[in-house]
Amino acid sequence: MSEHRDISAGLAARLALEKHGFRFSHALGQNFILDDGLVRRIVEAAQVAPGERVLEIGPGAGVMTRHLAEAGAKVTAVELDKNLEPVLRAMLDGLDVRLVFGDILKLDLAALMGGAPYSVVANLPYYITADVTLALLTGPEKPERVTIMVQKEAAERMTARPGAKNWCALAATVQYFGRPEPLMALPPSAFTPPPHVDSTLLGIRLYDEKPVQARDEALLLRLINAAFAMRRKTLANNLTAAFGAPREAALQWIAALGRDERVRGEALSVAELAALSDIIGEAAAFHRVSLFCAEILL
């Protein structure tokens, strides 16, 4: 049994961090939540059920890891910083937690989570927010729910609506796969050490059946990135650059969508982006068949 199991997780973490001489790394975005009451609220907001498989990204000092495990979750915690190993071993001794040291962006999630349903709960280092979110939502082994602590501005981007100033490729991608919702606002004082920004606990529930479905999701993701690539340029210019298509073809695709040729990519909704990807896919398939027939005729 751990020497820290008979005291609160927050106090245990502070003692363990001090005992092992841990120094916070600004470069790794280390801002821990050590308040037990706040962590309980986060776990409750994540709606973690007993027996549920949970992937925690960046457990830090292990306060939330311990609360998740004590709530009955089967936790896999992935930590990048090996300097935290003695702290986490002390905090999690005797608990049903699998601790993995590595870069979450380089790990095989299918192998890590074994192909069974899981959810994600994480106090993410803010510099990897977009990369981790996109990896979770677009990868082959998707979670059912994602509950992540992010910078307030990142949450505002992911929940932005079409036409808004902060409507972007990240927002369109997130909202294609699921429904993002702010769950809790946190000030800098909630963290140790305090960051220089406000934070938001964001929940993303992935759709069982998407309200909008593109025929080719890989093409849709490519199109989303193209549409927002250069915000000052028209959608036609971005499509020409991204797909190597003649401008006339790009204008035909936009016309088939029912949009003016001067429209910009950030004006399109998720439904319109999916429809446009289908139009482009149909055009590509048509031209492949036409070229094939032409070769036969020759």
* CATH number, domain with residue 244: 1.10.8.100
* CATH number, domain with residue 46: 3.40.50.150
Closest CA to 63 of 40, 86, 96: 40
Q: What is the pTM assigned to this prediction?
A: 0.90
> Is 201 contained in some domain?
yes
Q: Over the stretch 174-188, which tens digit does the pLDDT of each residue have?
A: 999 999 999 999 999
Backbone conformation region of residue 181, classed left if phi is above 0, alpha if psi is from -120 to 50, else beta: beta
Please answer whether residues 80 and 59 qualify as being in contact, where contact means their C-beta atoms are separated by less than 8 angstroms: no
Which residues, including other chains, have CB under 8 Å from residue 18's CB and lie 6 or more apart? Answer: none
Distance, in Å, from the CA atom of 148 to the CA atom of 200, rounded to the nearest integer, reads 8
Residues 135 and 64 grouped into a single domain: yes
Q: Over the stretch 14-50, which tens digit does the pLDDT of each residue have?
A: 999 999 999 999 999 999 999 999 999 999 999 999 9
Q: Is 168 helix (H, G, I), strand (E, B) or coil?
A: coil
Give the range of the structural domain holding residue 289, as residue numbers without chain letter: 217-297
Which residues, including other chains, have CB under 8 Å from residue 174's CB and lie 6 or more apart? Answer: 133, 137, 158, 180, 204
For the ranges 58-62, 109-113, 168-172, 228-232, the lowest mean pLDDT is seen at 228-232
Total tally of structural domains belonging to the chain:
2
Q: Over the stretch 246-286, which tens digit does the pLDDT of each residue have?
A: 999 999 999 999 999 999 999 999 999 999 999 999 987 76
Q: Averaged over 156-168, what is the pLDDT? A: 94
Name residue 11's amino acid. Answer: L
> Is 2 contained in some domain?
no
Please answer whether residues 126 and 29 qualify as being in contact, where contact means their C-beta atoms are separated by less than 8 angstroms: yes
Give me the sheet containing 74-79, strands edge to edge. 97-101, 74-79, 53-57, 119-123, 145-151, 199-206, 178-186
> Is 1 contained in some domain?
no
Residues 201 and 222 grouped into a single domain: no
